[in-house]
Amino acid sequence: MSVPTVRRASGTGDRAFVERCGLGSLGSSLSPLREAPTEALRTNFLRLLDIVHARSHAILVAVEGELRLGFALLVFDLPDEVTGLPQAFLAYMAVEVGQRGHGVGSLLLDACEEEARRHGTPYLGLMVTEGNAAAQRLYERAGYRTERRLLGKQL
């Protein structure tokens, strides 16, 4: 069996994978405070893909041989909204359900950090849903710390 690696996305096969895998993981991005119809989640994820493609970005795909395991959307021209300082921003990351818990997320996160360094950005920012404990553990193990919190209240 081959060792998983990460490469830059290329071609329609990767685009289709990112769409399918991303759409399959949307539930982990939704706060329990907010209700959203499935079609709205789908529409907004596809809009995010369009936004990423319109900016300076990298799409990284974790693979094992020909099998795609997960992906990350990394944006380079989205400065920190408070300080205005440059950063890379991890806009979305997803791992196929059957591949979770096997280090694919860590592999993708490491590749994002390396890509950000290669691009010359001094900082990598991301957001994680409060209820996504697995993702929070991944980011904390990698040294990420909470800078701010988005608070919400159901009215």
- For the whole model, what pTM was predicted? 0.93
Each of the 155 residues of the chain gets a pLDDT tens digit; together they read 678 999 999 888 999 999 999 999 988 887 888 888 888 889 999 999 999 999 999 999 999 999 999 999 999 999 999 999 999 999 999 999 999 989 999 999 999 999 999 999 999 999 998 889 999 999 999 999 999 988 888 88
For residue 154, what pLDDT is reported? 83
For residue 30, what pLDDT is reported? 79
154 backbone φψ class: left, alpha, beta (φ>0; ψ -120 to 50): beta
Residues 6+ apart with CB under 8 A from 126: 89, 90, 93, 139, 144
For residue 153, what pLDDT is reported? 86
Q: Which of 67, 55, 56, 73 shows the shortest CA–CA distance to 19?
A: 73
For residue 84, what pLDDT is reported? 93
Q: Where are the domains of the chain?
A: 5-141
What is the architecture, at CATH level 2, of domain 5-141? 3-Layer(aba) Sandwich (3.40)
